């Protein structure tokens, strides 16, 4: 139990500090846009290009990353994310910014698949729901930490980027020490997807239909998360005129509450078992989240708007244990690597679409409200797609 806790702590650190790198950038995005004097539509296109690089990265580097020893893979990914974050503070023009962000984008797709793979290798299948919930809280923790870093840095974007990147660098030796001293000598490593494991004898051609519906569901859900993650400060700081300290406080509270609730949902999901236990959190989380997003665009009170947005994020978080848990339940182990590349690719495509659409809408209308409404309507589709994936997977 103690060793499993340490393992999940390492995975949680991986997801939290990986998300932190992007969260800090998203938080100071208005300052960066002002610094380099670019139009919002241009920054939207640039962000979509970075996401295209991320989408292509698993095709060229996925096999190399997944073949490394797990801790080496996690260390490599964290360093490739953190060092470019630090370098952003030293770029002199918009071209250099793009070069640095492209380098960081190469590692962006691997954090969650690596965490999922480690859980698949070391954690009992009966406890994967709660294990997934634990490392999934990293996305909310990382988002809140990003705004906390900016608040503590006084809103200065260069200082914020340096601090965020440095925290990611520190994670690597700490994780190595924990892994080497407390895990490596005591845990008998499971063989990775080899012939000694049970195989389903299902061809990837048959699995592809499941992956396709799962990817539609993941795309629809994460399209909205991209808006919350990359464009939240554009709405709350630039448009609603809220301070970073207040946003950090609200997100910090939400991170604590959502983390507890996510773990509870993951535990409940394991106890219910089956697809029903995975789908109920999606409906109870994503539908209210979409409704709250719509309400936030109708509010004229900055405090009420921030509260509605915060609760929307909170409800969205309730669904997250199901994303990778459903994937793990439906995809045979021998197809995990190939299927996860497609599944993560859907997330990256959602980032491309979200960046282009949000940038265009803000440039055209001068407001984030219409982009938020679009995200809310797309979000409603997510549980429906996951339901179809579950039905297809059950038949196969």
Tens-digit pLDDT profile for residues 160-175: 999 999 999 999 999 9
Tell me if residue 107 falls in helix, strand or coil: coil
Q: Which segments of the chain does DSSP mark as H helices, in order?
A: 2-27, 29-36, 40-67, 70-88, 94-105, 111-122, 128-136, 138-152, 157-178, 204-230, 232-233, 244-272, 274-298, 302-318, 320-330, 336-365, 369-395
**From CA 357, how far away is CA 388, in angstroms rounded?**
27
Exposure of 381 by Cβ count < 10 A (0-12 exposed, 13-18 middle, 19+ buried)? middle
Q: What is the pLDDT of residue 75?
A: 93
Given a cut of 50, the residues of the chain with pLDDT beneath it are: 186-199
pLDDT in tens, 27-66: 888 888 888 888 877 887 888 788 788 878 877 887 788 7
How far is it, in rounded angstroms, from Cα 165 to Cα 83?
6
Pairwise CA distance, residues 109 & 57, whole Å = 8
Look up residue 369 and give its two tokens. 């409200």
Q: Count the Cβ atoms, other than its own, within 10 Å of residue 121.
A: 16
Give, rounded to a whole angstrom, the gap between the first and last alpha carbons of the chain.
Answer: 34
- Contacts of residue 63, Cβ cutoff 8 Å, sequence gap at least 6: 337
The SS3 of residue 160 is helix
Residue 339: which of 389, 301, 380 has the closest Cα?
A: 389
Residue 214 tokens, joined: 């799962």
Residues in the chain: 396
Neighbours of 147 (CB within 10 A): 29
Gap between the Cα atoms of 123 and 367, Å rounded: 45
Per-residue model confidence (pLDDT) at position 232: 64
Contact 212, 141 (CB under 8 A): no
Residue 235's pLDDT is 65
Do residues 84 and 96 touch, judged by C-beta distance below 8 A? no
Q: What are phi and psi of 153, to 5 degrees?
A: -85, 5
Alpha-carbon distance 33 to 29, whole Å?
A: 6
Q: Tell me the C-alpha to C-alpha distance, in Å, between residue 22 and each of 17, 177, 281.
A: 9, 25, 26
Asked whether the CA dihedral 118, 120, 121, 123 is positive or negative, the reply is positive
What are the residues whose beta carbons fall under 8 Å from the beta carbon of 125, sequence distance 6 or more?
none
What is the token pair recorded at 106? 């190469």
């Amino acid at each position: 139990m103690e060793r499993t806790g340490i393992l999940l702590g390492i995975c949680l650190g991986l997801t939290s500090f990986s998300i932190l790198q992007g969260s800090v950038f998203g938080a100071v995005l208005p300052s960066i846009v002002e610094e380099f004097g670019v139009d919002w539509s241009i920054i939207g296109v640039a962000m979509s290009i970075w996401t295209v690089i991320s989408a292509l990265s698993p095709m060229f580097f996925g096999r190399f990353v997944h073949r490394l020893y797990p801790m080496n893979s996690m260390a490599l990914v964290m360093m490739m994310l953190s060092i470019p974050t630090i370098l952003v503070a030293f770029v002199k023009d918009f071209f250099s910014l793009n070069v640095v962000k492209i380098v960081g984008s190469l590692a962006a797709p691997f954090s969650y698949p690596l965490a999922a793979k480690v859980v698949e290798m070391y954690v009992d299948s009966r406890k994967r729901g709660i294990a997934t919930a634990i490392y999934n809280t990293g996305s909310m923790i990382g988002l809140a930490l990003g705004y906390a870093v900016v608040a503590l840095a006084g809103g200065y974007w260069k200082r914020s980027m340096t601090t965020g990147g440095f925290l990611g660098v520190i994670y690597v030796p700490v994780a190595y020490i924990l892994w080497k001293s407390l895990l490596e000598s005591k845990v008998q490593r499971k063989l990775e997807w080899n012939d000694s494991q049970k195989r389903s004898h299902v061809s990837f051609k048959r699995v592809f239909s499941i992956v396709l519906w799962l990817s539609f569901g993941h795309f629809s859900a994460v399209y909205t998360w991209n808006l919350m993650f990359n464009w939240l400060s554009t709405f709350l700081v630039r448009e609603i005129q809220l301070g970073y300290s207040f946003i950090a406080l609200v997100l910090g509270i939400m991170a604590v509450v959502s983390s507890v609730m996510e773990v509870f949902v993951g535990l409940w999901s394991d106890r219910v078992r089956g697809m029903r236990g995975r789908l109920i959190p999606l409906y109870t989380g994503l539908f209210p989240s979409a409704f709250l997003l719509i309400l936030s665009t109708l509010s004229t009170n900055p405090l009420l708007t921030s509260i509605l947005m915060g609760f929307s994020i909170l409800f969205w978080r309730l669904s997250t244990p199901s994303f990778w848990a459903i994937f793990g339940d439906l995809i045979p182990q021998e197809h995990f690597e190939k299927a996860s590349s497609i599944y993560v690719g859907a997330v990256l495509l959602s980032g491309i679409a979200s960046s282009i659409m949000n940038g265009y809408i803000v440039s055209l209308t001068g407001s984030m409200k219409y982009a938020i409404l679009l995200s809310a309507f797309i979000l409603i589709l997510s549980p429906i797609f996951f339901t179809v994936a579950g039905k297809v997977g059950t038949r196969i």
